[in-house]
Amino acid sequence: MTRAVPALDSKAFGRARDYLLESARPLERALFRHRFEGGPADDVLAALSLYRNPDGGFGHGLEPDFRLPASSAMATSVAFHALRAVKARDDCDLVRGAIGYLVDTVDLERSGWRGVPLAVNDHPHAPWWDRAEDAATDAFGNPDADLLAALHEHAALVPRELLGRLTDGALARLDESPVPLEPYTALCWLRFEPAAPAALRVRVAERLRSDARKLIDLDPRRREENHFQPFWLAERPAALLADLLREEVERNLDAEIERQHADGYWEPRWSWDDRYPEAWQTARLEWRGSETLRTVTCLAAWGRTEPGTLRADVQGRK
């Protein structure tokens, strides 16, 4: 018997749209318009530039869970998510500056970057962003593999020898990493895979597919506690892991449709507990916009919007 598949109806999609355009940050607003309404890429770039620093990196709460104004590798990885969304090219000033920042700040010994500097402790942040003096490195892969993807996407801006050295070192670390990968690290490798040279894509894809079902918690109640969701690993039907995780993703999306707030947004599943309550409220509102954009984008890609809700050209980009 075929399972009835819930869809986000036009009224629910309209509430999400209204929330994003009225209450989200300018960046998520511009990304929504670009993705669903043909809005200009320049509006996305202009909104993203508000988080850029003179060194070419990004900060200023672009990743809402830490409010560090200075540049960090983690915030710069978030910037590249937006740059990818609008297919920004090598001649884009934001791209050139961010690649320069990555080249200047890479740690060659670990073939990667420290996610955030110690200065993150001096500004409001979520508990998981605490950093200690003796923590010389973060767990490899997040955001290293994500940033390595950016270097490959814009390889013309990166010294060839450096790119080769970083890639070889990163893949060696992948081979040494625990099985399964930590889920957020797997997300970064998923972004690296399509950017890698063909021979390396096979190697990375094999590892990700081997780990795929171990990356998710099959108990929905525990998923709510650890935040990580199956659809994050397969945001569209053509994604690398979609065929392996289809059943889990489909049921996850069923739950997401039910989880939409009456005012149109999706609430972040996490909090900062009782730390920095005022800053958390700011971050919470920013995450609402980000999570709403992420969720409606995925629902649309998986055909989970009511027929007629999306424009024809958006339907074609699934």
Predicted pLDDT at 139: 57
Residues 6+ apart with CB under 8 A from 173: 110, 111, 112, 140, 141, 144
Specify the pLDDT at position 311: 61
Query: In the prediction, which pLDDT does 208 show?
Result: 97
Contact present, 209 and 180 (Cβ < 8 Å): no
In this structure, the chain runs to a length of 318
Predicted pLDDT at 316: 47
Bridge partner list, 107: 112
The whole-angstrom separation of Cα 26 and Cα 99 is 24
* pLDDT score recorded for residue 2: 56
- Asked if the peptide bond before residue 64 counts as cis, ω within 30 degrees of 0, the response is no
Burial category of 10 from C-beta neighbours within 10 Å (exposed 0-12, middle 13-18, buried 19 and up) = middle
Question: Cα 85 to the chain's mean position, in Å?
Answer: 11
Question: In a structure prediction context, what are the per-residue pLDDT tens digits for the chain, which is 318 residues long?
Answer: 456 789 999 999 999 999 999 999 999 999 999 999 999 999 999 999 999 999 999 999 999 999 999 999 999 999 999 999 999 999 999 999 999 999 999 999 888 999 999 999 999 999 999 998 755 555 567 899 999 999 999 999 999 999 999 999 999 999 988 889 999 999 999 999 999 999 899 999 999 999 999 998 767 677 666 689 999 999 999 999 999 999 999 999 999 999 999 999 999 999 999 999 999 999 999 999 999 999 999 999 999 998 877 764 555 455
* Residue 176 · residue 111 · CB < 8 Å: no
Backbone phi, then psi, for 66, in 5-degree steps? -140, 135
Output the six-digit token pair for 94.
């934001």
**How far is 93 from 96, CA to CA, in rounded Å?**
5
Q: Which residues of 60-92 are buried (b: 16+ CB within 10 A; e: fewer)?
A: ebbbbbbbbebbbbbbbbbbbebbebbebeeeb
Q: How far apart are CA 138 and CA 156, in angstroms?
A: 28
Q: How many CB atoms lie within 10 A of CB 142?
A: 23
Helix extents (H) in 121-241: 144-153, 160-176, 183-192, 198-211, 220-226
Cα 67 from Cα 125, distance rounded (Å): 6
